[in-house]
Amino acid sequence: MLTDTILEDDSWQAADLPALAERAAKAVLDHLGHGAFEIAVLGCNDARIAELNAQFRDKPTPTNVLSWPSEDLSADDPGGAPLAPEMEELGDIAIAFETCEREAEEQGKTFADHVTHLIVHAVLHLLGYDHIRDADATVMEGLETAILGKLGIDDPYRESNGPQGL
């Protein structure tokens, strides 16, 4: 297993977050040609993720997903490739059930597809990808679209798929 999933909120049981997280993480690492790494995933609720968002980002509101890389792998140049990971542990991810459920409904997506996208997004963050600079966002979104396509999930950035909230 690449992912070690802790379910703090029972709502994640029926969604089978451990299987979704494992599938998404494996797809990212396979697509990028990386070996196996360890990723911790926390399935929580909006209240818990709001606490984490306040603690680590000074934003005391719920969000869909947060990630904490074990090491900074980000590229120096816009659009550049991140550094290769050196540690076995890539980092941690937290994902909030209520926000994911609401966004999936608003965007007309299945819950599983939306959660898979968010885990792919978060794993890419752990690997040093980001979307703050335009060139980096182009690279990251292209990777997400390609990885999700291999999983049979529509391009989340197509205009008809609605707002992303990432």
Structure tokens at 82: 């991140």
What does pTM read for this prediction?
A: 0.93
Model pLDDT for residues 18-27, shown as the tens digit of each residue: 999 999 999 9
- Predicted confidence at residue 163, as pLDDT, reads 43
Let me know: does 20 contact 98? Beta carbons within 8 Å.
no
State whether CATH 3.40.390.30 applies to domain 3-154: yes
Give the Cα separation of 79 and 45 in Å (integer). 34
Q: Taking CA 158 as the corner, what is the angle to CA 63 and CA 69, rounded to the nearest 5 degrees?
A: 40
Question: Which residues does 77 contact at the CB level (< 8 Å), separation at least 6?
Answer: none
Model pLDDT for residues 100-129, shown as the tens digit of each residue: 999 999 999 999 999 999 999 999 999 999
- Predicted confidence at residue 159, as pLDDT, reads 67
- Predicted confidence at residue 1, as pLDDT, reads 77
Strand partners, 41: 5, 93
What percentage of the chain exceeds 70 in pLDDT?
95
Q: Please state the φ and ψ torsions of residue 44, each to the nearest 5 degrees.
A: -130, -170
- Predicted confidence at residue 160, as pLDDT, reads 54
Model confidence at 162: pLDDT above 60:
no
